[in-house]
Amino acid sequence: MFYFNCILLIDDDPVNNAYTEELLKQLYFSDKVQSVLTGEEGIQFIQEFYEEKRTFPELILIDINMPGMDGFQFVDALNKLPITDKETYRISALTSSSDPRDVELMEKLGVDHYIVKPLNTKKVRDLLSAIN
């Protein structure tokens, strides 16, 4: 079974974050699921995590539609960070949008997976199977 040392969840909905966090922990995919409410907080967390641990969270789940820095802007900003070892993490869009244009743009930005909410056990297992 695949296990992550750290998963970063970026979504402006605290209820959705709590649900997703609990689901990931119940399925034993990580003990540390860090959730933040904005793309800006996500970038800050990644920079601080990297400075402290010299690595990235291994999985980043990002919502697309958020106020301020949306998911597209977050991935673009992440790609521009002057940090090495970017191949050590995966990004998955976790969003309510099933618009094919959003899927295509996320793929162009280098997002590994695209999951339409709500997240459930099957979708988590499918994501992890795709990563392995």
For residues 77 and 30, what is the distance between their CA atoms, to the nearest angstrom?
25
Q: What is the pLDDT of residues 61-99, one digit of tens each?
A: 999 999 999 999 999 999 998 876 667 788 999 999 999
Say if residue 1's pLDDT is above 60. no
In the chain, domain spans:
7-126
Burial of 67 from C-beta contacts in 10 A (0-12 / 13-18 / 19+): exposed
The SS3 assignment for 28 reads coil
Using CA atoms, how far apart are residues 27 and 119, in angstroms rounded to an integer? 13
CATH code of 7-126, in short, is: 3.40.50.2300
Better-scored residue on pLDDT, 39 or 28: 39
- Average pLDDT score, the chain: 89
Alpha helix (H) ranges present in the chain?
14-26, 39-53, 71-80, 100-109, 121-131
CB 118: neighbour CB atoms within 10 A?
A: 12
Phi/psi at 95 (nearest 5 deg)?
Answer: -145, 160
Question: Which tokens hold the place of 46?
Answer: 């990644």
